[in-house]
Structure 1
Amino acid sequence: MNRILIIAPNWIGDAVMSQPLLAHLKVIYPQSQIDVLASPWVAPIYRACSEVHQVIEARLEHKQLQWGLRKQLANQLELNQYTTCYVLPNSLKSALIPWLANIPFRIGYRGEMRFGLINLALDNPSKVNRPPMANHYLALANSLEHSQEIDTNKPVDPKLNISPAAKESISAKLQAAVINENLIYVLCPGAEYGATKRWPADHFASLAQQLITNQSDAQVIILGSKGDHALGEHIKAEANNDSRIYNWCGKTSLDEAIALIGVSKVLVSNDSGLMHIGAALKVPQVAIFGSSDPRHTPPLSEKAKVLWLNLPCSPCHKRECPLGHLKCLKDILPITVLGAIQTSH
């Protein structure tokens, strides 16, 4: 059996974007077993990928060598006798484990002084010429010889599946909160990158109010990480603490968040990892862009609507608005988002 190891990226959105690579490897090597080495933060994404046999979680910290842990992991992985490893991050550290594990074919992009650690390397395109991330990862499949080379210019859509355990868990939480699964609007106000990716909280609050005014039996769930909890509380307070609005930021695991998004009527989010999850689950969604560029990191789904003003100053890709006005987000009004929701399902 051909055993393949994937070294996962560290961001949720990037992890979602890697799914088409896994799907294509399964087409090329239908008898292969694909395992993924991932941090606990992104491991749930791969548990939602039907192509993955096993997710191996490891607490590999950002910007830390952790030589002892990497050596220990390599010794464990060597026993699995992988034939091939795809190293998705560009860092030197990410290439150490498959090299130490003596995996014969170690595939990735050139980057950060890892000559020899990666023995089948592709040139890393410049940020200006880089294709969408899903295509960027998919191109790695062209490193090994097979019958048909992939057209990396053709659009590809990631696809996730909700695990039965996650679906059961979120159903129990919804039942306990007396929330009807068929009438849920999920709002995701967070974005790890910074304020220039976050639609104003007051706009989210206004939208939540309009949703429950227009549909009295609607339920609005604010979803995000523990770091978004205060943001969720602010939104709920600005919406008069309506009992039909729930702040679940930090109250679900990522597995449960995936399942919740999967049963939602509509997802409204910033450009974030949860946006990409919604796209991969093919739920109706509205994605709000500010400082980032939807031409490079769009939600890859026919059910997604993108709102982006494309101002002369955007995309700036800055964490804080260099002009101080944040018009790229503030000028996208709640009534505009509501209109996009009403035509999305």
Structure 2
Amino acid sequence: MAKYLIVGPSWVGDMVMAQSLFKALAAKDPDAIIDVIGPAWSSPILARMPEVRKAITLPTGHGEWGIATRRQLGKSLRPEQYDHAITLPRSWKSALVPFFANVPHRVGFHGEQRYWLLNERRKLDKSVLNQTVKRFVSLGVEKDQAYPPSERPNPELRVDPNNQAKLYQTHSLAPDRPAVAMMAGAEYGPAKQWPLEHFSELAKQLIERGYQVWILGGPKDVDDGNAITEGLGEFAYNLCGATKLVDAIDLLAAAEVAVSNDSGLMHVAAAVGTKVHGIYGSTSELFTPPLTDNKVIHNLHLECSPCFKRTCPLGHTNCLKQILPEQISASIANQ
């Protein structure tokens, strides 16, 4: 029985995709113990992954060095006597906890001169490991099987039916209408955000066809949610900031369809089996696809995209503006 300490990523979508690694480790050794270090927000989502025994909260902010905190956490984990540590981020600081925990085998990709922190450093061959999920899973197999790994199981988050029922009641959702969830947030930057007026027009068309529409997101997305739902009537719900991440898991599982920018919640929707309509502009589905067969990708593949920029270098964001609501509405109608 192997015992793993895994340093998880700092973004929602990446943490969901990391479940592919956890599933691959559990498939290889059903008795494996897998503990995952992550930010505080990740604990509820890790609790929905059957392969993970324990979520360990790293009490530092995003981008914070916190060397003393990482040393203290690492030393506190020494009694666990982990066999292996897998460090998914490529930063120097991310490799500190396994080092201070005295984990004998510590693997990760080359990055930020981590020579004495990791005792197995692998080259990140981006031409072979051309997707985030491939990179994560490759660190869980022997080097001669890692470029690329042969098995990449899709994430599957557990759903809580009791919480689903509670959410319907709390937010007065319509029990007799199929739901379309929309995720309009763009924390990375506006170059990943389908226009709000497009979301609103699509919501209008879907409500007229008998759907209810839920806008999901965090507190920063409340104004965007209001802009989308304004004037659309009782079956348009702005739930941004009104639900926790774990609630979003259950709501997305209850939805028939999810329409989303390339975002963390898009990957959550994929992991609960909901039909995903993923909208790509400045990014590419070749690198971070929703890990499900139940998906439709909307990407115009303009000459200028993907640019992977936070804001459009040309100032027009045509890669997103020219994906029309009618196109996605028709695609949903034909699914």
Sort the TM-score into its range (normalised by shorter chain): over 0.9
Identity percentage over the alignment?
Answer: 36
| Structure 2: unaligned runs, 5 residues or longer | none
> Displacement, 1:19?
1.3
Residue in structure 1 matched with residue 222 of structure 2 by the alignment = 229
2:183 to 184, 188, 192: 188
Residue in structure 1 matched with residue 133 of structure 2 by the alignment = 134
1:260 and 2:251 correspond? yes
Write the distance in 2 (CA, Å) between the matches of 1:67 and 1:49. Answer: 29
Decide whether the 8 Å contact of 2:36 with 2:55 is kept in 1. Answer: yes
> Displacement, 1:213?
0.6
Residue in structure 2 matched with residue 245 of structure 1 by the alignment = 236
Residue in structure 1 matched with residue 306 of structure 2 by the alignment = 315
Paired letter, 1:95: A
> Displacement, 1:245?
0.6
Residue in structure 2 matched with residue 299 of structure 1 by the alignment = 290
Paired letter, 1:285: V
> Displacement, 1:84?
0.9
Decide whether the 8 Å contact of 2:7 with 2:86 is kept in 1. Answer: yes
Write the distance in 1 (CA, Å) between the matches of 2:17 and 2:255. Answer: 21
Distance 1:157 1:267, change over 3 A: farther
Paired letter, 2:171: A
Runs of 4+ aligned residues of structure 1 deviating over 6 Å after TM superposition are: none
SS for the counterpart of 1:220 is strand
Write the distance in 2 (CA, Å) between the matches of 1:156 and 1:340. Answer: 28
Q: Return 281-290 or 56-65, whichever deviates more.
A: 56-65
| Structure 1: unaligned runs, 5 residues or longer | none
Q: Give the alignment of 1:1-345 within 5 angstroms.
A: 1-126=1-126, 130-143=129-142, 149=145, 152=148, 154=150, 156-164=152-160, 167-181=161-175, 183-215=178-210, 218-237=211-230, 240-344=231-335
Write the distance in 1 (CA, Å) between the matches of 2:305 and 2:284. Answer: 8
Decide whether the 8 Å contact of 1:135 with 1:155 is kept in 2. Answer: no
Could you report, residue by residue, the CA deviation over 1:234-290 in whole angstroms, capped at 9, with x for unpaired residues? 1112xx141111111111111111111111110000011111111122211211111
Decide whether the 8 Å contact of 1:47 with 1:163 is kept in 2. Answer: no
> Displacement, 1:125?
2.2
Could you report, residue by residue, the CA deviation over 1:140-189 in whole angstroms, capped at 9, with x for unpaired residues? 122479xxx4672657342222253xx43342121233324562110100
Paired letter, 1:200: P
Distance 1:245 1:15, change over 3 A: same
Write the distance in 1 (CA, Å) between the matches of 2:77 and 2:48. Answer: 22
> Displacement, 1:43?
2.8
Q: Once superposed, what is the RMSD of the aligned Cα atoms? A: 1.8
> Displacement, 1:129?
5.3
